[in-house]
Amino acid sequence: MKFCSQCGHKVTMQVPENDNRLRAVCSHCDTVHYKNPHLITGTVPVAPDGRILLCRRAIEPQLGLWTLPAGFMENGESTIEGALRETLEESMVQGENPRLLSLISLPQWNQVHVFYRISMVNFSFAPTEESTEVKLFTQEEIPWDELAFETVEFTIKHHYETLGKNDTVLNTEIYFNTNQNS
């Protein structure tokens, strides 16, 4: 952020009164601009036969790798509504009965990922603008080496570890290894 979104003047980084962090502050209109973590919401769609659905990413980052349907939560929706919307947008899957499955913080990305286990109402799904391929996998078929994100890997593992146990939520944090720059 270089300019004030309220008045258009240049902002400077300073610690506001009664605060202890550097913020972008506008000395013209006195607005303090806060930057906060983003919420990503998604699902583990479970087909009527127990297989789970993955999407092959049509967009960066991690283009070509497999992921769970997920995306940025929008204003005006709940975490569940966002997760079901993203699932529809990315895989054309109609889901129901969402149950909280994982809440994973990514402090270095300023993100929090929330995943729900959902039941697919039938076997309908299809590729979309965001997914070149959408497919059901048994546990043995999961392409562990081609998953797009660590939160997806953690969440899928937690799905299998907790099958049949309701209300068991994975709550953890992921830090990337700065040596690997990934």
Q: State the virtual CA torsion across 9, 12, 14, 19 in degrees, nearest 10.
A: 30
106 in Cβ contact with 113 (< 8 Å): yes
DSSP secondary structure letters along 40-69 = EEEEEEE-TTS-EEEEEESSSSSTTSEE-S
The single residue among 6, 12, 27, 139 that binds its own copies, judged by CB under 8 A, is 6
From the list 42-50, 76-84, 139-147, 151-159, the region that binds its own copies by CB under 8 A is 76-84
Q: What is the DSSP letter of 5?
A: T
Q: Does 161 bind its own copies (CB under 8 A)?
A: no
From the list 46-54, 68-76, 117-125, 146-154, the region that binds its own copies by CB under 8 A is 68-76
Taking the complex as a whole, the smallest distance from the CB of residue 37 to its own copies amounts, in Å, to 5
Give the binding site for its own copies (CB under 8 A): 1-11, 18, 21, 24, 33-39, 72-81, 100, 103, 105, 107-108, 110, 112, 114, 129, 167-169, 171, 173
